[in-house]
Chains A and B, each alone.
Chain A
Amino acid sequence: MEDLFNYREDREAYSAARMRALEDLLIKKGIITDRTVDTVLDFFETRMGPFNGAKIVARAWIDAAFKERLVADAPSAIAELALPEGMAGAEGEHVRAVANAPGLHNLILCTLCSCYPWPVLGLPPYWYKDPTFRSRAAREPRAVLKEFGLEIPESVEVKIWDSSAQVRWFVVPERPAGTESLSEAELETLVTPEAMMGVAIAKAA
Chain B
Amino acid sequence: MKLQHYLGGLEGLGPVCTDTRVFAEPWEKRIFGVHVAMMALSTQTSAPETLSIFHTVWVWADLRKGAEALHPFDYFKYRYYEKWFGGILSYLIANGYFTVEEFDALADQYYCDTAKPLPEGGDDTIDALVERYLVEGDSPRRDVSVDYRFAVGDEVVVRNVPSVEHTRLPGYLRGRIGVVETVYDGAYTYDCDTGPDGIGAAMPVYCVRFDPADIWPGNAEPNFLIYADLYDHYIEAPAVAARAA
Contact = CB atoms under 8 A, between A and B. Distances in A.
Interface stretch (B134-142, B145-153, B237-245): B134-142
B221 A142 contact: yes
Contact of A32 (B15, B88, B122): B122
A17 to B, nearest CB: 4
A1 B135 CA distance: 37
B14 interface: yes
B53 interface: yes
Question: B107, B124, B138 — which one has the most chain A CB atoms within 10 A of its CB?
Answer: B107
Interface string B69-107: 000010111001010010011001000011000110011
B64 A25 contact: no
Interface string A1-42: 100110100001111111111111111111111111111110
B100 to A, nearest CB: 11
Q: Interface on chain B toward A: helix, strand, loop, or mixed SS?
A: mixed
Given A34-B122, A125-B19, A127-B19, A112 B32 contact: no
B46 interface: no
Nearest to A85: B135
Contacts of B201: none
A144 B188 contact: no
Interface in B182-215: 184, 188, 205, 207, 212, 215
Contacts of B219: 139
A91 interface: yes
A89 B138 CA distance: 7
B110 to A, nearest CB: 4
A86 B135 CA distance: 4
A40 B110 contact: no
Nearest to A162: B228
A189 interface: no
A158 B32 CA distance: 33
B26 interface: yes
B24 to A, nearest CB: 6
Contacts of B97: 25-26, 29, 31
Interface residues of B, number: 106
Contacts of B17: 126-127, 130, 132-133
A204 interface: no
Interface in B115-139: 116, 118-124, 126-127, 130-131, 133-139
B162 interface: no
Interface stretch (A57-65, A148-156, A170-178, A179-187): A148-156
B123 A33 contact: yes
B220 interface: yes
Given A19-B27, A114-B80, 4 more contacts: A15-B27, A133-B17, A135-B7, A154-B221
Interface of A: 1, 4-5, 7, 12-41, 43, 48, 85-86, 88-94, 111-114, 122-127, 129-144, 147-148, 154-167, 193-194, 199
Task: Please list the 9 inter-chain residue pairs (A to B) with the smallest Cβ-Cβ separation, ordered nearest first.
Answer: A33-B122, A37-B33, A165-B229, A17-B111, A86-B135, A158-B224, A138-B8, A135-B10, A21-B106
